[in-house]
Amino acid sequence: MQRMFCKLLLPHCATKSQPVQTAHVFRALYSSKSKVPDKPMWDSINYDKLPKLPDTDLALVEQLERISLVEFNNEAGLVRLRDAVKLANQMHLVDTEGVEPLDTVLEDRECYLRRDEVTEGNCVDEVMSNASKVEEQYFVAPPGNIPMKKRDKDHLSRVLDSKADTDDVV
């Protein structure tokens, strides 16, 4: 985060070639001065400079609904989505040239490695305590990504069965 603040607050220092030095300068200031400005600061945003909002067509809505598992119930929801994208688009105004993306504030730490020992498990009751439906120690879920053919066959067999029935009647 520090690196980003440098650019935001001290644009004059942030030369492309010296991002590291910038960080040092900032750290020096950081100790003496608060990041929070004394007075409210307002900045007007020129929306013409921002990328155009993507078209929210039906296909996009359907894709969003599918991956978020949330339905857009009404038009107000769609308007809010568009506003959210518009708001987020303001980020394009920030100069991020030469700044490496920050994944985590712990990026200078190392991932902790544990010993390969079995210390957990054998707690079926706890693990399944939240399951809405259980069968012989298995979670029961709606049918998943099974090959299409099997379903087609089912469908066929039903047709075939009904035909056999009518034959019987005849």
Residues that bind another protein (CB under 8 A): 63, 66-67, 69, 103-104, 106-107, 109-124, 126-128, 130, 135-151, 154
Question: 80: buried, middle or exposed (CB in 10 Å: 19+, 13-18, 0-12)?
Answer: exposed
Q: Report the nearest approach of another protein to the CB of residue 164 (Å).
A: 19
Q: Report the nearest approach of another protein to the CB of residue 40 (Å).
A: 31
Nearest by Cα to 27 from 2, 10, 4, 9: 2
Q: Report the nearest approach of another protein to the CB of residue 102 (Å).
A: 9
Q: Which is nearer to another protein, 36 or 141 (CB)?
A: 141
Are the C-beta atoms of residues 53 and 82 closer than 8 Å to each other?
yes
Half-sphere CA count of 75, side-chain side, radius 13 A: 0
Q: Which is nearer to another protein, 40 or 142 (CB)?
A: 142
Q: Which is nearer to another protein, 12 or 114 (CB)?
A: 114
Identify the residue whose tokens are 């929070």: 36
Q: Rounded CA gap, 68 and 47, in Å?
A: 28
Q: Report the nearest approach of another protein to the CB of residue 45 (Å).
A: 26
Q: Which is nearer to another protein, 51 or 147 (CB)?
A: 147
